[in-house]
Structure formats: C-alpha cells, structure tokens
Amino acid sequence: MCGIIGTVGKEPAIDKIYPALIALQHRGQDAAGVATFEQGFHMKKGNGLVLNVFNPKNLQRLKGTMGIGHVRYPTIGSGTAEDAQPFIITTPYGIALAHNGNLVNYFNLKKNLIDNDLRYLNSNCDAEVILNLLSVELTKLNLRKFEPEHLFSALSEVYKKLVGSFAVVSMIAGKGLLAFRDSNGIKPLVHGRKDNEHSFASESVALDLMGHTDMVDVKPGEAIFIDTKGNFYNKQVVRGSKKKNATCIFEYVYFARPDSIIDGLGVYEARLNLGKECLKNRLKPDVVIPVPDTARGAAELVADVLCVKHREGLIKNRYIFRTFIMPTQSARMEAVRLKLNPIKSEIVGKKVLLVDDSIVRGNTSREIISLLRSVGAREIYYAVYSPPIRFPCVYGIDMQTRGEFIARDKSIEEIKTLIGADALVYQTTEGLINGVGAGPSDFCTACFTGSYPTKIPPLLLERIEADRMMAKVSKFEE
C-alpha cells in the first residue's frame, strides 16, 4: 500500500504535491519521491519520510506545472533506494510513472520484458514494470502524432497483461497527465478539479488540502488523460469481472485516514458503524479505551452500545510512526512501548475493554495488554472490529505470508490465551460488510475470507510468500 498524487494546472505543481504527500504519509514511510515537468523532467526521490527526503533547495529545482508524487510502503522487493518511485523512461515521448498496488504476476512480467523486449529493469518495483509495458505498447503503435486515444489503445493491451491491483498516475512529457485504475478497483484513486486544475490522489484528504471541492472516484478499469491545457479525456478501457467494485476493505478498517472518502464511503463513518456492529451487550467493562489512533471512532460506538464510559487510556507519542507498516517484527515491538503510554487513573482497578482495528501477528496486542496489566488493570477485554485475518494479501498490504497470522490455525479461545486477554471478541464478516456500508461484492475481503477478486494460482502465491520472506530477511540484516 502506497500513496500517489498527480496534478496538472497553471501553478507550480510542487506547491501542491509536497503538502499532499505529507497528507498521505500514513500510506508509506519507507521512501518518497516527486517528478515534475518543465522543458524536461525534474526528479527527487529517496528513502525516508517526506520531510527528510525534500529540502528547500531540491524543492526549488522541481519546476513545472505538471507533476506526480509517491510515498512508498514496499510489498515487492526489499525496499532499497532503487525501488523508490516515480520512475522515468525516455521513449516514447518521455514518461514518468508512480503506482499504488501490487502485481501478482510481477515476476513473470519482469522476466518477459527482459527476455523478449531487451528491457533492462533497474529495480524490484512493479511500477517500473507497468511503465515499461506502457512504453512497449506505445512504441508498437509507431505514431508520429500524439493523440489521447493512442494512450487508451496502448493501455487496453497493458491491462491484458496485468494481474493484481494498481492505481497509477503518469506524466507524458509536454503532453499531459494520465491516471488509471485496475479493473476491480481494488486500490483507491480519486479525481479532483478546481477551475482548470486537475489532480488525482489515493485519498480525498490530499485533494481537500489542495483546495479541490469537485471530486469523483476513478472507475475500475477507467483511464483519464488531462492535457496541459486542461482538456479532459477518459475511456472505460476494461471492465472487471464483477458488476461492482472490489475495493480493499482494509482501507476502511485501518489504512486510510478517517477524514477520507473512498468510493463514496466515509472512512470515519465506516469505523463508527464497525464499532456498533462489533459489540452488542456481550461484555460489561468499566471503561472502553481505543488503541490509538485508528480505533477511536469504533470505540466511541462500542461505549455507546454498552452504555459505559469512553476514555483515552493510551496516549500516543506522535513522533513514532505506524507500527503495522514497520519492516521488521523487532522494530514493531520496540515501537509499541515507545509509542503508547497508559493513563494510570483510567486503568487502575478497572475492567478495561480495549478496542482495536485488527490483530495480525498478535505480538502488538500482547504487548499492549501486558502494558495495561503492569499499571493495575483488574481485567482486560479485547474487541477487534474486523474478523480474524487468516489469508495472505497479494494486492499491496504487507500481509503476504500465512505464517504471520495468529488466527491462521488457532481458535479465538487460543488467541485470547496467547495475547493474555480475559475475553476476546472479533467482528463477523457480515458485520464488517454491514458496518462499512454496502453489499459483499463491493469489497475485496480476501485477507478475511480467502476469496480473491483475481485468480491466484497456488504456485504463484507460494512465490509471493517466498519473495516477501526474503525481503524481510534482507531488511532485518540491514
């Protein structure tokens, strides 16, 4: 899962992109990058947070009224500097590209590009594969004059090759801004406009910051091209196998900011409803405490349903980043104690109900429960407003190895014992879907149900798991 932004208009693009990337920082902490265009491409990217990668000097060099940006959370490759986005290719026209998602058939696509088209790929990032595939198809057209329809024609061939999830922003040198989304709409992509300025982003919150009020989600399988004069072109390049979207439901559970709207559904409202669905008079705690920050909305509704106090019992250190997307387990465990500190007066001698968004590995939950016991909690109940995670995500969330999931082969009673809770309550799959607010075909729920919106051959799933395990080892050795 990454964050992308693209814009074209009359004002300097970097003035829009830089704050938008900060707004999307929660979607990726490993690397950041920006490419702009003015009589040539200008690019700056590197490992680290947005505030660390960019400084006034290199921001000043990113000239032009068209640009794209990216924050990275790696799920393919080991996350080295070579994998930072955007990527640029010189022919045809000159194209820069950034993407959010995960290509399930990445390995085969990369091998075919190298073997058959004599393309040298310098990274282990699937965005570079998408860029080269687009370049290959455009080159085949052998065109002397650029037309937006040529882009759509090339994309129709690219779509045939891509399996997985992708939301893409791309610049065509001197021509305009291109955006497109996978045929199932797994990854979010929203289009905003203000006067003659057009922008695309992973979440509406970035476009809010840019001053856009006219926003619409890019449809699954749709491509949109905005030329440098602000003219709008779009085409439904392909249609998904389902009648409705298969938006990643984990966006609403955890990943997206609560002030974002994704495919017409407010994230904060979804989390409130998930809290309402999660607990209905099953427990009688003295106080309900959220695991910050994601679970706050759900905890409010849990407290309302149970008619008990809702309190902030865990205070978050704002200078520690999201532990879920930290690269190694040791880093996550160290960060839990650094990130959270209990308010003892809200905990001592009380039956505490902790509300959390999910349990993946179980180590963080166990650490938090241990922390509350150490300051005198009488009993600790744990409520999770998503179902047990039992299946790998192959679409861009770092849950790609079955061995990571505490729920893969354990009952809820066994999980309760392992994390040290006095009671453990999970959301049901039906409650999850009802809470977010639409029918079951509206979402990808693969990590909970094992039902993938694209075909995943078992051998390919094993390959993905093996690659991710190697990447984690490499990251740990660093």
- Asked if 296 and 161 sit in the same domain, the reply is no
User: What was the pLDDT predicted at 122?
Assistant: 87
- Asked if 65 and 110 sit in the same domain, the reply is yes
The answer to whether residue 187 is domain-embedded is: yes
Is residue 183 within 8 A of residue 155, CB to CB? The reply is: no
In the block, which residue shows the tokens 């798991």? 465
Task: Indicate the pairing of strand 379-384 with strand 351-356.
Answer: parallel
Which CATH number covers residue 430? 3.40.50.2020
- Asked if 307 and 179 sit in the same domain, the reply is no
- Asked if 234 and 333 sit in the same domain, the reply is no
| Number of domains present in the structure of the chain | 2
User: What was the pLDDT predicted at 472?
Assistant: 54
Burial of 71 (0-12, 13-18, 19+ CB in 10 A): buried
User: What was the pLDDT predicted at 475?
Assistant: 47
The answer to whether residue 249 is domain-embedded is: no
Question: Tokens representing 402?
Answer: 């079955």
User: What was the pLDDT predicted at 253?
Assistant: 95
- Asked if 199 and 232 sit in the same domain, the reply is yes
Max CA distance (Å), the chain:
77
Is residue 323 within 8 A of residue 293, CB to CB? The reply is: no
- Asked if 314 and 208 sit in the same domain, the reply is no
- Asked if 331 and 222 sit in the same domain, the reply is no
Residue 79: domain span: 3-240
Which CATH number covers residue 183? 3.60.20.10
User: What was the pLDDT predicted at 198?
Assistant: 97
Instruction: Give the active site residues.
Output: 2
* Count helices and strands in the chain by DSSP H and E runs: 16, 24
User: What was the pLDDT predicted at 273?
Assistant: 94
Burial of 225 (0-12, 13-18, 19+ CB in 10 A): buried
- Asked if 177 and 122 sit in the same domain, the reply is yes
User: What was the pLDDT predicted at 338?
Assistant: 81
In the block, which residue shows the tokens 């006067």? 195
User: What was the pLDDT predicted at 242?
Assistant: 57
The answer to whether residue 258 is domain-embedded is: no
- Asked if 126 and 227 sit in the same domain, the reply is yes
Which residues, at least 6 apart from 170, have a Cβ–Cβ distance to it below 8 Å?
6, 68, 95, 96, 97, 98, 131, 134, 177, 178, 179
* CA proximity to 242, closest of 183, 165, 158: 183
Is residue 34 within 8 A of residue 15, CB to CB? The reply is: no
- Asked if 188 and 63 sit in the same domain, the reply is yes
Residue stretches of the chain with pLDDT short of 50: 325, 327, 473, 475-478
- Asked if 215 and 285 sit in the same domain, the reply is no
- Asked if 377 and 418 sit in the same domain, the reply is yes
Question: Tokens representing 452?
Answer: 């993938």
